[in-house]
Structure 1
Amino acid sequence: MGERRIGVAERRARLALRHRLAAGTGAAGPEEVAECLVALHGTDPATVYLGVGARLAEPAGTVAATERALYEDRTLVRMHGMRNTVFVFPAALTAVVHASTGIAVAARARTQLLKDMAAAGAPDAAWLTEVEESTLAALARRGQATAAELAEDEPRLRERFAYAPGKSYEGVHTVSSRLLRLLGVEGRVVRGRPLGSWTSTQFRWALAPEHPELDVADAQRELLERWLAVCGPATEADLKWWTGWRATEVRRALTAMGARRVSLDEGTGYVVADDAEPVAAPREPWAALLPALDPTAMGWQQRDWYLAPELRPALFDRSGNVGPTVWWNGRVVGGWAQRPDGEIVWRLLDPEGTGRETETAVTERAERLTELLGATRVTPRFRTPLEKELTA
């Protein structure tokens, strides 16, 4: 049997249905959203809440429900994951993420920290081990704490050392900032409640929930299979980019899961073994206003099938971070922003997104977003040209 071809229209249909964006596909709660997306990008805290709200059948109460899942029920966990980036995962997936991705990243991070400290004449590895054990013990006593609070119990966290002396990016780091990040990458601590509102970027720390140690290859197979079930088809380049793994690891996981090859405009793609049947487009047209760094907009490295190349300069910053996007029937057609007075404004940039039907649907989504935000004002952590222009 030859490779089945999956065209752009079907890829957009899969995205609409599986990412809970088409009419009638809304999720019941934050946990269901996280489960269906595998991971919510967590670098910008507001992304988590707005990404959830865009996919709930009933967005009222999005913030309270998401906070409860993160900080009370702990059914969602904010932790380092793929590409050494902070994500929000279903709690049941933390062991898989740690084994598949975190272990290798953590080893490199610890080596780099010790190297930086040695170059600055800071204490050695034994000293660092003492400090981290003391810090973890203090965190266990406190439950949740800021770095400053932990430094009250372990004063050595306040010590500073020079980083990259003589380089253009030279700076001074505290032991607390580097050590707590390292412990996060190692899966020993996670982010707790923010110090301010749900849009705050300042977090307390908490001990990570206990999880079993899994075989790395098994964990990689499971993570990639979960992601392909939601985002397939995808190319090897997409998979390598999303996971941050080496090509050999991606290929090993694809073989282990028995992934099926399909034909895409970009070349060979992959789906999970039982996912090659055609997927019909949603019955009704749909619009969505997704936040900056949303996992749908950032899900693939090769994006021409849902994002025209000419739109990228307006919608991405120089580091490749996507800003708030307007979607119409599986394609990015523009961007949106929130002005200081709370008004949600947008601009349609793609000819596929012009017309009265599109504008009516986007207006309805903007009203829904306005209701979700209430008095809260959201500015993306990584600002893009169009977002800046719309708020000027």
Structure 2
Amino acid sequence: MEARRYIGGVERRARLALRQRLAGQARAATPEQVAESLVALHGTDPATVYLAVGARLADPAKAVPETERALYEDRTLVRMHGMRHTVFVFPTALTAVVHASMGLAVAARERAALLAHMAAAGAPDAAWLREVEESTLAALARRGQATAAELARDEPRLREQFVYGAGKSYEGLHRVSTRLLKVLGVEGKVVRGRPLGSWTSSQFRWALAPEHEELDTAAAQADLLGRWLTVCGPATEADLKWWSGWRVAEVRRALAAIGAEQVELDGGTGFVARGDAEPAPAPDGPWAALLPALDPTAMGWQQRDWYLAPEVRPRLFDRSGNVGPTVWWDGRVIGGWAQRPDGEIVWRILDEAGVGREARAAVEREAERLRGLLGTTRVTPRFRTPLEKELVA
């Protein structure tokens, strides 16, 4: 049997630098190039999308206007549910792949749960809900984009409420609009549109989803995993299962379908895309980056010791496993950053290994790039982490 090639941490960090457009030589010209390179941008916190793009653009000042253009004018990027039932921003061309590989199973569960909760509350049946759904989609087609309140003016039944969890400690009133629009989102029928406020706002209008063909689930999963492995490989089976939210059997089926190759990693077996096991080029030199909370690079793998020292992890993640703003030097997370109420960008090194004068100067240059992107905007991560709170205080 042919020996598997060993890929160590140094090479993994070099791959990360170039493929995820973090080294200076690899920076992109447009948000579309960034999204294509990363496959997906975390969209749970609206600011993350713009800051993640800005960290990878040659000109970070273009991050906000160009990302807004891509999302809301050209619609070359789309905000929709994806992996692990989480909101991401994807290239619009991936809509069908994401929906078939991730959304179908989740959508079936969400609709069944809504109908069950309505039935338990004595609310109208599935036929009634289907009427409301069709009327809502028709109203959205007329309006182009709309809030739930605006849609309820066209379809008043969206305002109706039903009791959820009657008699339980979590009993509460659910509005039909809130639950139905969520179901339509995971079903790939509607997507988030332009926010009501600035680019940091989490109050979104709704829009009809881009039209897309219905794909076979297994084929779509193979397509998506192949794209991600090209960007993030090598990765372990545990990494792949965590990132996708699929069952182990689905991950293994997709790996076989794309002909993924096995390699040796520190502590186990990893996978790369077919033909990608050969030595990868390295960046021109060491690089620094200030990445936002929930950045797709920091969150890309479940097993992170090769770029994040275990002893600093508790200060950079919240209790639910969400990463805060991070400072990077040459492929390793070395600390974190925050923005204070007066706009000042502050950062702190937690992992001093190999961090000297050159690294600190490079980090400060990245902080200056970030200041130029933010201008007068103030950003507070949705999920606060211990170090971020310390720096702000």
TM-score normalised according to structure 1 size: 0.98
Matched AA of 1:262: V
Give the Cα separation in 1 of the matches to 2:282 and 2:10.
Answer: 8
- CA 1:169–1:350: 2 relative to 1, 3 Å: farther
Report what 1:263 is aligned to: 264
Of 35-44 and 123-132, the range deviating more from structure 2: 123-132
Report what 1:73 is aligned to: 74
Report what 2:237 is aligned to: 236
Report what 1:50 is aligned to: 51
Verify: 1:370 aligned to 2:368, yes or no. Answer: no
Matched AA of 2:335: G
Residues paired across the two proteins, number: 392
Q: CA RMSD in A?
A: 1.0
Matched AA of 1:242: W
Q: Note if contact 2:25-2:283 (Cα within 8 Å) is conserved in structure 1.
A: no
Give the Cα separation in 2 of the matches to 1:181 and 1:201.
Answer: 15
Give 4+ residue runs of structure 1 displaced > 6 Å after superposition: none
Q: Helix, strand or coil: the match of 2:253?
A: helix
Q: Note if contact 2:80-2:88 (Cα within 8 Å) is conserved in structure 1.
A: yes
Give the Cα separation in 1 of the matches to 2:281 and 2:92.
Answer: 32
Report what 1:291 is aligned to: 292
Report what 2:193 is aligned to: 192
Report what 1:332 is aligned to: 333
Matched AA of 1:370: R
Report what 1:170 is aligned to: 171
Matched AA of 2:215: L
Give the Cα separation in 2 of the matches to 1:162 and 1:336.
Answer: 43
Cα distance, 1:23 vs. partner? 2.0
Q: 1:193-251 CA distances to partner (integer Å, 9 max, x unpaired)?
A: 00000000000000001011111111010000000000000011110111111111110
Of 348-357 and 162-171, the range deviating more from structure 2: 162-171
Matched AA of 1:101: M
Give the Cα separation in 1 of the matches to 2:203 and 2:110.
Answer: 22
Identity %: 79
Report what 2:356 is aligned to: 355
Give the Cα separation in 2 of the matches to 1:359 and 1:324.
Answer: 17
Cα distance, 1:353 vs. partner? 5.5
Q: Note if contact 1:23-1:284 (Cα within 8 Å) is conserved in structure 2.
A: no
Give the Cα separation in 2 of the matches to 1:107 and 1:143.
Answer: 26
Q: How does 1:5-20 map to 2 (within 5 A)?
A: 5-20=6-21
Q: Helix, strand or coil: the match of 2:24?
A: coil
Q: Note if contact 2:20-2:231 (Cα within 8 Å) is conserved in structure 1.
A: yes
Structure 2 unaligned regions, length at least 5: none
- CA 1:353–1:327: 2 relative to 1, 3 Å: farther
Q: How does 1:199-214 map to 2 (within 5 A)?
A: 199-214=200-215
Of 334-343 and 168-177, the range deviating more from structure 2: 168-177
Cα distance, 1:166 vs. partner? 3.6
Of 139-148 and 275-284, the range deviating more from structure 2: 275-284
Q: Helix, strand or coil: the match of 2:26?
A: coil
Q: 1:164-206 CA distances to partner (integer Å, 9 max, x unpaired)?
A: 2343433221111111011000000000000000000000000
Cα distance, 1:162 vs. partner? 1.9
Of 107-116 and 81-90, the range deviating more from structure 2: 107-116
Matched AA of 1:357: E
Report what 1:385 is aligned to: 386
Cα distance, 1:265 vs. partner? 1.4
Report what 1:85 is aligned to: 86
Structure 1 unaligned regions, length at least 5: none
Give the Cα separation in 2 of the matches to 1:171 and 1:142.
Answer: 31
Q: Note if contact 2:184-2:190 (Cα within 8 Å) is conserved in structure 1.
A: yes
Cα distance, 1:120 vs. partner? 1.8
Q: Note if contact 2:263-2:271 (Cα within 8 Å) is conserved in structure 1.
A: yes
Report what 2:317 is aligned to: 316
Q: Note if contact 1:325-1:332 (Cα within 8 Å) is conserved in structure 2.
A: yes
Q: How does 1:150-165 map to 2 (within 5 A)?
A: 150-165=151-166
Report what 1:302 is aligned to: 303
Report what 1:124 is aligned to: 125
Q: 1:101-154 CA distances to partner (integer Å, 9 max, x unpaired)?
A: 111110111111111112222111111111111100110111100000000011
